[in-house]
Amino acid sequence: MPADQDDTAMQAHILPREKWWWLGLALLLTLAGWLYLRGYNVSLPFFAHIDEPHHLLAAQHEIDTGTARPVGHEAYPPGMRMLNYVLLKHLKPADAHYGTMLPALRLITITAWLLAVLVIALLGALLAHPLTGLMAAVIWIVNPWVVERAHWALPDAYLTLFTLLSLWLALIGSLKNQPRYSTAAVYSIMLAIVFKYTALILAPLALLLPLINVRRRHKAAWQQTLGNCVRFSVFLFWLLLLYPTLEATQVPHFPVTENRLFAPQLDVLTVQSLQPLLLTFQPVSSWIVVGALGLLLLRYRKSVNWVATICLSAALIAWLLGISMLRLERSAAGDPLRQLFAAGALLSLLYALAVTALYYAGLEALTRVAALGLSPRHSSQLVAGLVVLGLGVNLQPSFIASDGLARYYSLHDRRNDLRLYMDASVEPGMYVSLGENHKIFERTWGGYTGIHEFPRYRTMALLTSKPIEEWRNLGVTYAIMPHKLLQDDPEVYYPEETVTLKVYPVDPNYVDTGMVVLRLYPMQYIADDRLGPIRLVGYDLNTTQLQPGDNIVFRHYWQANQATDTIHHVYNHLLDEGGNIVAQVDYVPLWDDRRPTTTWDDPDEIMLGREFVLTLPKNLQPGAYQLVSGLYDPITGQRLFNDDGADRVRIGRIEIISANDD
């Protein structure tokens, strides 16, 4: 064949032409969207993932001050920050919190994950058969590891997308003699690096792949490779010398780059990287079968694009070796797989390639059974259907787990309820927390926008790690602890030294794992008086013996069987022996008027009453007085009554003594 005809043949069929392939891809993208988009607003407006506000805050600082240095982010890969920058700069309302852009950022990120599915399908079709691409795509889509990551606005999606796109463009450019695709591959790997520096690992493949044509088109191959290297050198000049990449050796939370390279170690490469990565897809037994199928491919080697296969295998090995040499997986606290998404995508492609051997074997077997009389087309359809059915059965556990994750992320997060409750129900004060509750009232990292401040004690701690009196001396007023601890050991909360204000039990219908809110001061006096549906369960009283002109300081602790139909206020009267009012103070019963009695709908909640101050008249006569309280509708004046017809509860006996008395 003449050289020009050969080149024309190589340029053909860059994209699969089969209509069934595009229909199958559309169905798979629909499946991916169903898994990724459900619960895309998980936890909002609470920021459950610390990296999301990190990127948002860096972009906001870039807008406000021109640098992200105040949050130690100036040397991070700029891609995610710039994406955040555009939305905050041009779309965020002027007075809105930067967290309002998080839903849009998550949707853009999910779009990147969906585009990564498309590129995986294209790479798979390039490996052997169009069916290979669809199988690789579905293997990737239903992996719970991917579904879990897809819900957050993080750079992993962009790293995976642009890395895979770079490999596909480089292969198309070299295999199909399309120089512009090879050039585009370089720009794509640059974009991947801009979002995460680890993409540098695969840059040599994108740059040097045109050299596979050096024997057939010697001059063109070298020219393309040289052009790639020049473009990438300019990019590296900016990245390493102009952009402060090398300053990112240490940031407040964990290192993002390493100045040292380590020799690959078997345990780092396999136990910490490859083994957990393999198990995110399938159990070990499945990989043994896939390995055997990979050997079977040698029988059908003419149907396999070995250049693409070797390229993707080399990319996978290079990624795993690079990660183990940089030890980046050790910097990802508690998440050793966060650096391996590109490797996971490559692994799904090789898995699907091995499964394709079943298709070729089945087709060969079927064509030998002449008695069936099937046409090649029907044979191909039958075998493809059986292979897809078998793969579907094999992937069913992964799909069920991914569907469960997607459902879980669509559930309501009660940490938002807790923020509203605390802001409107109790006095501001410091709290101690444990685990996932440490960011609830953080304006920067948790997205809290309440009126009142609830600063967190400087470190996460269990309440029992210090004596209760020591916590009080440190200025801690509240504790927010996991509900599971209350189930396992009720004594862990010092029940006699604290008040359990609010309980959010463990409930599978919510995304959080349950919380308990405690006030680290007990009720001074226990009570059991009822007015309508509301019960007085206790009260605090500063003293029972005062002089004229002094202040009585007291608070109530309320519970309610149900909310009232109308808003009720609390009145507090000091009565003399004849029942006459000598002093009074009325107001809303709780700290904030945003929590009226019409919202008291949790029978187990103890409402912490506001602190009332009742000033005694200076001419008050010495003697015995009664402090009483009641609840009334401020519009109609109608009071709440108990079963005996009384409209008040007794708080305490107050003795007024003369200023001349001892």
Cis peptide, bond prior to residue 45, ω within 30 of zero? yes
Q: How far is CA 195 from CA 135, 296, 564, in A?
A: 28, 38, 54
What is the per-residue pLDDT across 309-344, written as a single tens digit (0 to 9) for each? 999 999 999 998 887 776 554 444 445 678 889 999
**Mean pLDDT calculated for residue range 53-66:** 90
Look at the chain and count its residues: 662
**Mean pLDDT calculated for residue range 576-588:** 94
Residue 372 has what pLDDT?
A: 59
For 539, list phi and psi in degrees, rounded to 5: -160, 160
**Mean pLDDT calculated for residue range 17-46:** 95
End-to-end CA distance of the chain: 120
CB 593 within 8 A of CB 569: no
- CA–CA dist 216, 221 (Å, integer): 9
Between 374 and 65, the higher pLDDT residue: 65
Residue 255 has what pLDDT?
A: 41
- CA–CA dist 488, 604 (Å, integer): 19
Q: What is the DSSP-derived secondary structure letter of residue 621?
A: P
CB 513 within 8 A of CB 483: yes
Instruction: Provide the 3-class DSSP secondary structure of residue 15.
Output: coil
Q: Is 391 left (phi over 0), alpha (psi -120 to 50) or beta?
A: alpha
**Beta pairing partners, 586:** 571
Residue 1 has what pLDDT?
A: 37
Going by pLDDT thresholds of 50, 70 and 90, the confidence category of residue 360 is very high
Residue 69 has what pLDDT?
A: 78
Going by pLDDT thresholds of 50, 70 and 90, the confidence category of residue 245 is confident
**CB 1: neighbour CB atoms within 10 A?**
8
* Residue 475, token pair as written in the block: 């200025």
- CA–CA dist 510, 506 (Å, integer): 8
**Mean pLDDT calculated for residue range 636-654:** 93
Q: Are strands 545-546 and 649-656 parallel, antiparallel or unpaired?
A: parallel
Residue 8 has what pLDDT?
A: 42
Query: Is the model's pLDDT at 254 over the cut of 60?
Result: no
**Mean pLDDT calculated for residue range 389-415:** 95
- CA–CA dist 588, 211 (Å, integer): 79
Q: Where are the alpha helices (DSSP H) in 369-454?
A: 376-409, 414-425
H/E stretch holding 515: strand 515-519
CA-nearest of 2, 3, 313 to 177 is 3
Going by pLDDT thresholds of 50, 70 and 90, the confidence category of residue 660 is low
Q: Which amino acid is at 650?
A: R
- CA–CA dist 375, 196 (Å, integer): 50
**Mean pLDDT calculated for residue range 395-424:** 95
Query: Is the model's pLDDT at 492 over the cut of 70?
Result: no
DSSP 584-615: EEEE-SBSSTTS-GGG---TTPPEEB--EEEE
- CA–CA dist 499, 518 (Å, integer): 5
Going by pLDDT thresholds of 50, 70 and 90, the confidence category of residue 97 is confident
**Mean pLDDT calculated for residue range 75-98:** 91
Query: Is the model's pLDDT at 250 over the cut of 50?
Result: no
Query: Is the model's pLDDT at 251 over the cut of 60?
Result: no
H/E stretch holding 625: strand 623-632
Instruction: Provide the 3-class DSSP secondary structure of residue 405.
Output: helix
Query: Is the model's pLDDT at 456 over the cut of 90?
Result: yes
Q: Where are the alpha helices (DSSP H) in 196-334?
A: 203-208, 218-236, 266, 275-281, 284-296, 306-326
Instruction: Work out the burial of residue 646: count CB atoms within 10 Å of its CB; fewer than 13 is exposed, 13-18 middle, 19 or more buried.
Output: middle
**Mean pLDDT calculated for residue range 155-181:** 95
Instruction: Provide the 3-class DSSP secondary structure of residue 618.
Output: coil
Query: Is the model's pLDDT at 435 over the cut of 90?
Result: no
- CA–CA dist 195, 83 (Å, integer): 10
Instruction: Work out the burial of residue 94: count CB atoms within 10 Å of its CB; fewer than 13 is exposed, 13-18 middle, 19 or more buried.
Output: exposed
* Share of residues in the chain with pLDDT > 70 (%): 91
Query: Is the model's pLDDT at 271 over the cut of 70?
Result: no
* Share of residues in the chain with pLDDT > 90 (%): 67
- The maximal CA–CA distance of the chain, rounded, in angstroms, is 122
Residue 28 has what pLDDT?
A: 97
Query: Is the model's pLDDT at 11 over the cut of 50?
Result: no
CB 305 within 8 A of CB 175: yes
* CB burial readout 114-151, b (16+ within 10 A) else e: bbbbbbbbbbbbbbbbbbbbbbbbbbbbbbbbbbbbbb
What is the per-residue pLDDT across 287-310, written as a single tens digit (0 to 9) for each? 888 889 989 999 998 999 999 999
CB 455 within 8 A of CB 481: no
**Beta pairing partners, 572:** 585, 629
Q: What is the DSSP-derived secondary structure letter of residue 304?
A: S
**Domains in the chain and their CATH numbers?**
3-247+263-409 (no CATH), 414-519 (3.40.190), 525-656 (2.60.40.770)
* Residue 641, token pair as written in the block: 């009554």
Arithmetic mean of pLDDT over the chain = 88
Instruction: Provide the 3-class DSSP secondary structure of residue 262.
Output: coil
CA-nearest of 107, 171, 184 to 346 is 171
- CA–CA dist 605, 624 (Å, integer): 34
What is the per-residue pLDDT across 222-243, written as a single tens digit (0 to 9) for each? 999 999 999 999 999 998 888 8
* Residue 330, token pair as written in the block: 């050790």
Between 11 and 46, the higher pLDDT residue: 46
